[in-house]
Each structure stands twice: as C-alpha cells, then as structure tokens.
Amino acid sequence: MNTTNFTKTYYINRRGTHSRKWDGEHLKFSRTDLLPLWVADMDFMTPPCLQEAIANYVKTTPLGYTMTNPNYLDAVINWYKCRHNCNLSKDWLTSAPNVITGIMWSIGAFTKPNDAIAVLSPVYGAFDTSTSDAQRHIVPIAMRRTTDNRYTVDYDAFESTIIQQDVKLFIHCNPHNPVGHVWTEAEMAQLFSICKRHDVLIISDEIHQDLITGPIPFRSALSVSNGAYADNMITMSSVSKSFNMASLHHAEVIIPNDELRSQYNTYKALVYHTDSDVIAEAAITAAYTYPEAETWLNTALTVIRENYEYLCRELLSALPKLRISPMNGTYLAWIDFGAYVMADDMHDVFENQCRIAPSFGEWFGGESYATFVRLNLATSLTNIKVATHSIIEHIQP
C-alpha cells in the first residue's frame, strides 16, 4: 500500500472520541479550536489484524482470571530478535501497566527520597514529574546542540555531574523524545560505562524503538557491548507508540539481573495486585507476530518520513533560520523558532495566530527551550500542510 492509500484507509477524525490530543486541548491551551500536534499518539486506526485479534479474544474466551500467556512472552522475544537483533531470556520479562508507571515503580524500588536521578535534557517531561512526584531530585544534564542541530553529550560534564550530585539512577531515552536522536552503540557504551563506574543504575526507555525513520538503526541498551551493561539496567517498552495502542495498559519491563528483577517485582506486588491484561496480551501477541501488523508499521513510518520531509522543505525555504533537528527516530519534530519568535510570544503565535497546539519546548526542560516546539507528525499529510502553511503565513521571515 502506498502512503496516499494508507492515509485514505487509516486516517481518522478523532474529534469527539475523547481523544486527549483532539478533545483535550482545554487541558493545556488557551483555546480549543487548534490543530492538535501535541500528544504522542497517531491519528491512524490500529491495524485491522490487531482489531480482529482483540475482537476474537473477547468472542472466544471468558474474561476470567488468567495467567500470563506464554505465546505473548514468545512474541515479545521474537520481536526483539527479528526486528532489533537483541536476544532476551524469558525470565527477564516483567511488566507494568505502562512505561511511566514502570519508571515510577523503578524509582520507588531502587531509590530513596531525595536521591538524585539524572536525565539528558531536553527530555520527555514525565521523567521529571515521575521523579519529583516521588520526592526524588531531578538532575538535568543538558545535551549540546551541534551547528547541524544534532544533539550530543559532553561526557566529561555527564561524569562530573554524576559524581558531584551523587546520582543514583539515570533515565535514558532511545530514540530520544523530543530531539529525535537514535543513540549509537558507541554513544551508549560511553554513557553506560560512566554509570557503571559510579554505581548508577540505568533505566532505558525504549518505547519509540520501532519508529526509526533515519539512517541510524535502533540498538537496545541491553545489547550494547554484547550485553556488558545489561546487569545494571531496566529496559522498558510497549506497543503503544509503534501500533498506536496507548490506551491498552501493558508495558514490558525487562530486567536481566535476578536481584534487581526480584526487587522490582517485590515493589510492584506492594502497589499493584492483578493478573495480566488479557486484551493487551492478545493485541501485543498479534502485533509482534502478524506480518500484516509489521507491514502497517513500516508504511506508517514512510508516511511519517514524508511528512517530515515536506515540513522541512517548506518551512526551511520560507524561514531558513529555523533550526530543525534531524528526526532519525520517533514521529516528533523538534524545531527552534528562536530566530523569528521571542520566547514570550511563542504561546500567542502558535495558539492565537497559527492555531496549532504543539508541545511547547519548555515542557521538556524549562525556559531554555521556550523558543522550541515539538510537532507530532503521525497524522495526515493534509494536516501537516495546514500546519506548515499556517506557520509560514504567521511568522515573518
């Protein structure tokens, strides 16, 4: 299926469906008549084979108490092997209702109040709120932006901050939301070896792992340096971004180290006592097994890439001083409007003039990112054209 047919078949008007992105603008914006490009989900229907897998489960199986279905575990292991060339062992797998809950439980299980938790900023804002809600102390370590708008790490600064702030946990994000960077094995080996040297536990949030649209392949933190750091990490993922199933509550939490896994599971048992979510398991098994699901995903990635290329081409020809970071992973474009719009005017320009609801830069690390927006490109090219032309019309070169 080509991208035009994909959009024709799967794009859906979500207004009136209680979608947070489309119906929840009042939660974050000053008006509700905006084109929403904020919340990170897709405006495409879930692949039909997954709709059928869910319906079929409900039609054929009573929704009574269950145990984890081994087919689900095999499907996850198979996906990591075939799509990411990463070998998992079945007993490493545990779970959470979603990735952020898994991160919160890990914070609870492995750190104490006031412990320092490091992130590379700018980064997904829920890392900060999960940390501060748990009365831990967030330590943002700013990445450097190169002249071609890529983000890199100053490893000396990373290490000295870890030492000075006595950091206990590092939350890594790969691919990185919001900057779209896909971390190479060499970069991760540097970060993780510093963590290892200073006894810093690693959480690797790999929820965007399947959304690779640039030349750098995704590599799981688990397989960096042939698994040399796997004993010191907790890896999280789910189908929610890849197959647009964020409202099904189940995430994989992968912990190779027996002691850490047992510590996590003990904490989990204190706060959460329930069986597996059978509908999520049925959907995940199908998503990771059916070739039609992977074909859907790959075509969605082509749509997203086309949207990104359109956006870059049109915006940069009208506003050449915009700084757009290379979107190698995720479906989120990270753009600095600082050459054209003052930080204090960003909300007015985007909400009242362009009539777009973006994710504002300050949500990813505070005022230093106030001239940035993150735009969600997992929508129709038509919506991206509307947004692009509106930006060009309302922002003076």
Ligand X SMILES: Cc1ncc(COP(=O)(O)O)c(C=O)c1O
Binding-site ranges for ligand X (CB under 6 A):
40, 98-100, 124, 173, 177, 205, 207, 238, 240, 246, 251
CB of 334 to ligand X, least distance (A): 12
CB of 40 to ligand X, least distance (A): 4
Rounded Cα distance, 384 and 387, in Å: 5
Q: Give me the DSSP letters along 259-278.
A: HHHHHHHHHHHHH------H
User: Among residues 251 and 375, whose Cβ is nearest to ligand X?
Assistant: 251
User: Among residues 138 and 349, whose Cβ is nearest to ligand X?
Assistant: 138
User: Among residues 117 and 251, whose Cβ is nearest to ligand X?
Assistant: 251
CB of 127 to ligand X, least distance (A): 8
CB of 99 to ligand X, least distance (A): 4
CB of 236 to ligand X, least distance (A): 8
CB of 59 to ligand X, least distance (A): 27
User: Among residues 201 and 207, whose Cβ is nearest to ligand X?
Assistant: 207
CB of 252 to ligand X, least distance (A): 10
User: Among residues 3 and 329, whose Cβ is nearest to ligand X?
Assistant: 329
CB of 124 to ligand X, least distance (A): 4
User: Among residues 3 and 237, whose Cβ is nearest to ligand X?
Assistant: 237
User: Among residues 79 and 124, whose Cβ is nearest to ligand X?
Assistant: 124
Burial of residue 59 (number of CB atoms within 10 Å: 0-12, 13-18, 19+): exposed
Task: For residue 102, give the 3-state DSSP assignment.
Answer: helix
93-96: strand order across its sheet:
93-96, 251-254, 233-237, 201-205, 167-173, 116-121, 137-142
User: Among residues 25 and 205, whose Cβ is nearest to ligand X?
Assistant: 205
Q: What Å distances lie between residue 50 and 71, 238, 278, 293, 315, CA to CA?
A: 15, 15, 14, 7, 36
Question: Do residues 306 and 3 touch, judged by C-beta distance below 8 A?
Answer: yes
Contacts of 80 (CB under 8 A, 6+ apart): 86, 87, 88, 220
- Residue nearest to ligand X according to CB distances in the complex: 98
Q: Which two tokens stand for residue 38?
A: 């904020």
Short-list 142, 95, 101, 92, CA closest to 122: 142
Question: Do residues 47 and 293 touch, judged by C-beta distance below 8 A?
Answer: yes
Q: What Å distances lie between residue 381 and 134, 218, 293, CA to CA?
A: 40, 25, 22
CB of 120 to ligand X, least distance (A): 12
- Residue type present at position 267: Y
Question: Do residues 350 and 373 touch, judged by C-beta distance below 8 A?
Answer: yes
Burial of residue 82 (number of CB atoms within 10 Å: 0-12, 13-18, 19+): exposed
1-38: b (≥16 Cβ within 10 Å) or e: eebeebbeebbeebeeeebbbbebbeeebeeeebbbbb
User: Among residues 248 and 335, whose Cβ is nearest to ligand X?
Assistant: 248
What's the chain's Rg over C-alpha atoms?
A: 21
